[in-house]
Amino acid sequence: MSELARMLRRAGIAIDHVSVGASPTFTATCHYIKEGVLKDITEIHAGARIIGDIRSMMMHSHTREQCVATILTTVVSTSHPNHAIIDAGMKAFGTDPLMQYQNSPGFLWNGKPSFGSIQGRSNLWLGRLAAESGWLYYINADKKLYLGERLEIVPNNSTQVLNIHDKAYGVRNGRIEKEFSIAGRGRGS
C-alpha cells in the first residue's frame, strides 16, 4: 500500500490516508512503521487483533492470556472413561481445525487436531465436534470432569465464532457487565 500511495502521488493524485489491515501482520506492520520502512501507512485496521484466538497464538501475535474470546460450555456426559461431552459443537466453535499448522509440534493428539484450548485444564483435548456437542478427551485421566461442570474454551478462530452468534457478552469476575449485539452476524468474516 505504501508503494501504491507513492505511485498515485507521483501521478498527481492526492492521498491523505493509507490504510492496511490484517491482524496476523499487526505487530510486524507497527514495527516497520516505527522503523520508517512503511512511513506512508496512516491507519491499521486489524479487526480480530483485539480479540485473539488459537490461530493468533499459532502466529505468535498473542499469548494465551491475551485471548479474550471464550465459549462457556457445560459438561453434559461423563459416561465414557476416555472423554466427556460438552454442549457446544460446530454451531458454537465454527469448523476451523487450523490444518495449516498440522506440522507444528503438539498440533495433533492421538491423530486429532484441537478445536480450542480449555482454560485451566491442560489435561483436556477438544478433539471432535458434532453440530451441537464436542468431545473433550482426557490426555491424562488424573482429573476427570463432572456432570454440569462449566468450562471456558478459547476457540481456534474467533472471527468464525463471532460470525455465527447473535450476541457476545463482556464478563468480569464471573459477572456479565456488557451485552454486545453482533451486527455483521452471518455476513462472512
pLDDT confidence of residue 187: 57
**Mean per-residue pLDDT for 118-126?**
94
Query: In the chain, what's the furthest Cα-to-Cα distance?
Result: 71
Q: What is the pTM of this model?
A: 0.81
Whether the CB-CB separation of 106 and 83 falls below 8 Å is answered with no
Where in the chain are the domains? 2-50, 65-181
Closest CA to 49 of 65, 31, 68, 33: 68
> 85-118: string of b/e by CB count within 10 Å (b at 16+)?
bbebbbebbbebbbeebeeeeebbeeeebbbbbb
- Give 59 or 8, the one with higher predicted confidence: 8
**For residue range 126-181, what is the model confidence (pLDDT) as tens digits?**
999 999 999 999 998 888 999 999 999 999 999 889 888 889 999 888 899 999 99
pLDDT confidence of residue 189: 45
Topology (CATH) of 65-181? Lyase, Ornithine Decarboxylase; Chain A, domain 1 (2.40.37)
Using CA atoms, how far apart are residues 70 and 72, in angstroms rounded to an integer?
6
**For residue range 61-117, what is the model confidence (pLDDT) as tens digits?**
788 888 888 999 999 999 999 999 999 999 999 989 999 999 988 889 999 999 999
Using CA atoms, how far apart are residues 6 and 16, in angstroms rounded to an integer?
11
Using CA atoms, how far apart are residues 17 and 14, in angstroms rounded to an integer?
9
Whether the CB-CB separation of 53 and 156 falls below 8 Å is answered with yes
Count Cβ atoms below 10 Å from residue 49 Cβ, excluding itself: 19
